[in-house]
Amino acid sequence: MKSFSFVSRWKQRRLSRSTKWLSLLSLLLLLLTSLGVTRLAVQAASGLVLEYSNGMSAAATNTPRALFRIVNNTAASVPLSSLTIRYWFTRDGSPSQQLWCDYAQAGCANITGAFVNLASPTSTADTYIQISFASAAGSIATNSNSGEMQLRFNKSDWSNYNQANDYSWSPTQTSFASWSQVTLYLNGQLAWGTEPGGSTPTATPTAQIPPTATPTAQTTPIPTPTPQSGNPCTGVIFCDNFESQVGSTPSGAWQTSFPNCQGTGTVSVDRTQAHSGTTSIRVDGRAGFCNHVFFGMPGAFNGVGTDIFVRVFIRHTIALPVSHVTFVAMLDTNDTSHDLRMGGQNSALQWNRSSDDATLPAQSPVGVSLSMPLPINQWSCVQFEINEAQGTMRTWFNGSEVAGLHLDQTPTQDIDSQWLSRPNWRPSLADLRFGWESYSTGDDTLWFDDVAIAGQQVSCAV
C-alpha cells in the first residue's frame, strides 16, 4: 500500500507534473501557433520582406512604375547580390520592352533587370521582370532595409499597358508596405511572396537587358537644350504622343477635369491635327473661368526627383489675349494647393502663381517685351524646367530660352523681382494639366502633342 500509495503519490506527482507540462506545452504550442500565424501572415520564413509601392495609379499607361524596398529581419546581414526580385504582369502586346532605374539607394549602376516570358502564362502574368544586384550593391544589415529603388518600364513603341490585369500591380498601395504578389528570392529560393498560380517560371531569362540606365544630370540643370539622337523618348520618365488613344476623350493616364465648375470648354482626342503621327489632344477653350477645361495626369512627377523638365508641342488658333489666360496648370501642394500656371497676359507668354497672382515676367512693358507671343497655326515646342528644391524655373520656345520666363534666386527688375518678393517659394507639384482657363476674355482652340516628362532636358526633336 505504501509503495502503492508512494507510487500513487509519485504517479500523482507525475500526473500533476504531466498536467503542468501539458499546460506549459499547450501554452508553448499556443504561443508557437500564434507566432507561426504571425510569421505566416508576413511570410517572413527567412526573415526577408519585400515591400512595394505603386508609382502609376492609372490602369492604362505606357509607363508602369514599381518601387521596391527589401527589409531584412534576419539575424545576419544579407548581401543584395544573393537576392532577386520578380514583378509579374501581362505585357499586353508584343513590342520589345525597356526597363529604367530612376533611383536606387544601392545605386542604379548596381542593378540589372531582365524581362522573362513565362512558359505557362496565367491570366494575370505572362512576363516577369527580374531584378538582380551586383556585389557592389552591398548588404542589408540586420533589422534594416535596402532603401528604395524606383523602376519603370515601357514598350519600344510606347503603346499602353493595361495594369488592371497585372498580378503584381496594386493600384491602391502608393506607399511602401509588404505585398505578397511581388516575389523575392534568396539564392534562387523563394523567400517572400506568392508566385502567380499555375505558372512555372522559365529557368533562364529570354531577354537579357544591360544594366538599367539612370538618367544623367538629374540634379544638374542643363543650360541649353541638348539635341538627342535616336528616340526622343529614351531616358525620359514619361512620354506620350497620344497615338494609343482610342476613344473620343483622353483616357489612360489622362483625366479630363473642370475644377470647381464646368461650362462650355471641351477636350477631345483629335485625328485631324497632329505633331507626331495622326493623333493629338484638342482643347476648345472659352472665355470665362467656368468655361475652363483641362486634361491632366495626377502624380505626373512621381519618381522624377525635384528637378522637373517638361516638353510639349502646342498649336493654337487665336493670339494670346491681353487678359490673363492659362494653358498649363500644376497643383502646388506646398502653396495651399494653388496652381502654378503657364499661360499668357498682355499677349505674351507668362508664368503665374495663383496663390498671390505673382507673374513672371512682371507685366511692365519691359517685362512683357522680354517674353514673346505664342504663334498661331503652327506647332511650337515648349520646354520648361521647374526645380522644386531651388525654387527656380526656366522656359524654352522652339529650343531657345525665353529671357522673361527665367526665375532664379536673384531678383531682376521686370522679370522675377515680383515673384521673389515672397521668399522661399518651393513648389511641390502634384499633377500636370493642359487645357484652357480664361479669367476674363479669350477664346482659343488648342492642340497638344508629344508630351515628355524627365529629370533632364528633353529635346524638341521628335
Comparison of 89 and 294: residue with beta carbon closer to Ca ion: 89
Shortest Cβ distance from residue 458 to Ca ion (Å)? 15
Least distance (Å) between residue 450 CB and Ca ion:
6
Per CB under 5 A, 276 contacts Ca ion = yes
Residue nearest to Ca ion (CB): 90
Contact flag: residue 52 with Ca ion (CB under 5 A): no
Shortest gap between Cβ of 19 and Ca ion (angstroms)?
Answer: 59
Measured in residues, the chain has a length of: 462
Member of 242, 294, 309, 396 binding Ca ion (CB under 5 A): 242
- Considering the rule CB under 5 A, would residue 165 count as an interface residue with Ca ion? yes
Burial 432-442 (b: 16+ CB within 10 A, else e): bbbbbbbbeeb
166 touches Ca ion by CB under 5 A? yes
Q: Tell whether residue 159 is a contact of Ca ion (CB under 5 A).
A: no
Q: Does residue 61 bind Ca ion (CB under 5 A)? A: no
Q: Is 241 an interacting residue with respect to Ca ion (CB under 5 A)?
A: yes
Segment interacting with Ca ion (CB under 5 A) among 269-277, 297-305, 344-352, 380-388: 269-277
Please tell me the count of residues contacting Ca ion according to CB under 5 A. Answer: 13
160 contributes a contact to Ca ion by CB under 5 A: no
CA 151 to chain centre: 9
The distance of closest approach from Cβ of residue 317 to Ca ion in the complex, given in angstroms and rounded to an integer, is 18
Distance between CA atoms of 345 and 326, rounded to whole angstroms? 9
CB 345 within 8 A of CB 374: no
- Please tell me what DSSP assigns to residue 198: T
Q: Is 92 in the site for Ca ion (CB under 5 A)?
A: yes
Q: Is 174 one of the binding residues for Ca ion (CB under 5 A)? A: no
CA distance 74 to 45: 9
Q: Is 240 in the site for Ca ion (CB under 5 A)?
A: no
Alpha-carbon distance values, 165 to 92, 152, 196, 386 (Å): 9, 17, 12, 35
* Near Ca ion by CB under 5 A: residue from 130, 139, 279, 418: 279
- Picking from 280, 285, 344, the residue whose alpha carbon sits closest to that of residue 312 is 280
Q: b or e along 94-119 (b: 16 or more beta carbons within 10 Å of the residue's beta carbon)? A: eeebbbbbbbbebbbebbbbbbbebe
Contact 372, 349 (CB under 8 A): yes
**Pairwise CA distance, residues 41 & 155, whole Å:** 36
Those residues with Cβ within 8 angstroms of residue 131's Cβ, 6 or more apart along the chain or in another chain: 68, 84, 85, 86, 87, 111, 112, 113, 149, 151
> Which one of the spans 93-101, 248-256, 260-268, 445-453 is the region binding Ca ion (CB under 5 A)?
445-453
> What count of other Cβ atoms lies within 10 Å of the Cβ of residue 126?
21
Comparing CB distances to Ca ion, the nearer of 166 and 332 is 166
Stretch binding Ca ion (CB under 5 A), from 236-244, 259-267, 355-363, 367-375: 236-244
DSSP run (H or E) holding 9: helix 2-42
Q: Among 274, 283, 320, 329, which residue interacts with Ca ion (rule: CB under 5 A)?
A: 274
Nearer to Ca ion, 167 or 425 (CB): 167
Sign of CA dihedral 71, 72, 77, 82: negative
Q: Which stretch binds Ca ion (CB under 5 A): 19-27, 65-73, 166-174, 250-258?
A: 166-174
**Site residues for Ca ion per CB under 5 A:** 90, 92, 161-162, 165-166, 241-242, 274, 276-277, 279, 449
